[in-house]
Amino acid sequence: MTVQQQMKTLSHFMNGVETVGISGRFSEVFNPSTGEVLAQVPLATKDEVKQAIKFAKAAFPAWKKTSIGKRVEVLHRFRQLLLERQDELTDVICEESGKTKEDAKGEIIRGIESIDMAISAPQMLKGEYSVNVGGNINAFSAKAPLGVVATIAPFNFPVMVPLAITSMAVAVGNAVILKPSERVPNSALFLCDLWKEAGLPAGIWTVINGDKEAVNELLENKNIQAISFVGSTPVAEYIYQTGTKHNKRVAAFGGGKNFMIVMPDANLEQTANAFLGAAYGAASQRCMAISGAVVVGQDTEKRFTEVLKEKILKLKVGPYTDKDVDFGPVITQQSKETIIRYINGALEEGANLVTDGRNPSICETSTGFYIGPTLINHVTPDMTIFKEEVFGPARFIVGVESLQDAIDLINDHELGNGVTIFTNSGAAARKFQEDIEVGMVGVNVPIPIPVGYHNFGGWKRSKFGEGHMFGPDQARFFTKAKTISERWPDESEDTTSSFAFPSNQDSTIK
């Protein structure tokens, strides 16, 4: 028996059951902490995606007609099951993503915030009503689900993002197809069991594993009404352009280059501690991770670098099974090699290495995809490491002379996902909030990611489309409005034909 035959083979989830892939194409799922292959995941054909859409489309009408109260009951049960089995799910996340247990548990809790928001769907679905807008006509609006919608999730949040982009879609009455990252399919398949146990009808929640072939079918298929995507900026732009070309509603969330402005009056000890977690947590594989510090003033830059270096050298990198580690590996060997190329490139372009994580000590005893916390200073805006998103623990410091210089530097960048400022000056914070051109802004908050009941989304090339993740915009994105005018004439009423455009001043309307 070959190694591939012995390897665990995963499935899709269609029409309420696990479904074996038939394409004959597979992608390997790694344990990043050890470098070992956990399983192989099937990559769906276009025909398999079409079949999944067919099941979802058939299930949609009954779910649409299910009362909102009944739909919310399913979400309540799903939420409870998620809490009861969060330890199991934590282990699944850790094994296939390399996250620490603390980080994985935090991800689950943030995912539950999206379920909580979805449970408020009855409030989100309320329409408007006007009595006697003219001629005894009442006007009101109603919100309806779109139908079959597709969601495409990244590897870095195997649970939080899928919950964030699907929970409300399910609650308001859609049938949802999730294509998770082929790097972390086990977490999505775990959620399938919970939805099924919670009582969600077959076909309303589908997981289809795949690569670009599957994605293209979702983007082009006329039965898919909307696409919600989270991933890199180049792919987000492709998703948006292709999806809208095929007349779909699209919200595509791309990458971020998230800066932390450090003012001279900031408490550098507190600011450095905030930087550590925000910059290096989850091996920097977060779209809201701090990419670099923009430090105002040469003296502040020098002191901040010294404080940060001392703290970085104490950080511990290792497997999630070690409760003392600060963060784990990156997702693949290819990712590790890419990050090292960014570091080497910055040094070749004239930057200075403050701490070197290219060969952490754990590499001597492990085949996992580890890279230690790296800090680079003397970085300038023309350097590649400044311009491009680096999805790994290579962070940098840029020095500027004033707050205005810092704001201009950030506003000139093509990405505008998140940004934060550390200061004790209310005037500086106010100027920063008003002038910065970024979608999510923090003041003395290291990672300004909104809670589940506020909208999430960046500006510029960090987001394509008008939808948001989290918040009330989720309900708006996954529904369409219908406006109804009704009148019930009295049988004895004498009506005559009118050829004038109707208005509330029309005297022919009795």
How far is residue 459 from each of residues 193, 413, 462, 463, measured CA to CA in Å?
36, 11, 6, 6
Side by side, the strands of the sheet bearing 12-14 are 17-19, 12-14, 205-207, 175-179, 148-152, 224-230, 249-253, 463-464
Question: Strand 129-134 to strand 137-145: parallel, antiparallel, or no bridges (unpaired)?
Answer: antiparallel
- φ/ψ of 474, rounded to 5, equals -60, -45
Structure tokens at 144: 């309806």
Q: Which residues contact 46 (CB under 8 A, 6 or more apart)?
A: 213, 214, 216, 217
Closest to 275 (Cα-Cα) out of 450, 448, 100, 446? 446
Q: Cα-flanking dihedrals φ and ψ of residue 282, to 5°?
A: 60, 35
Q: Is 287 a catalytic residue?
A: yes
CA within 13 Å, CB half, 2: 2
DSSP collapsed to 3 states, 267-305: CHHHHHHHHHHHHHHHHHCCCCCEEEEEEECHHHHHHHH
Reduced 3-state DSSP string for 37-60: EEEEEECCCHHHHHHHHHHHHHHH
CA distance 111 to 510: 54
Catalytic residue among 94, 192, 287, 363: 287
The alpha-carbon radius of gyration of the chain (Å, integer) is: 26
Q: Which residues are designated catalytic?
A: 287
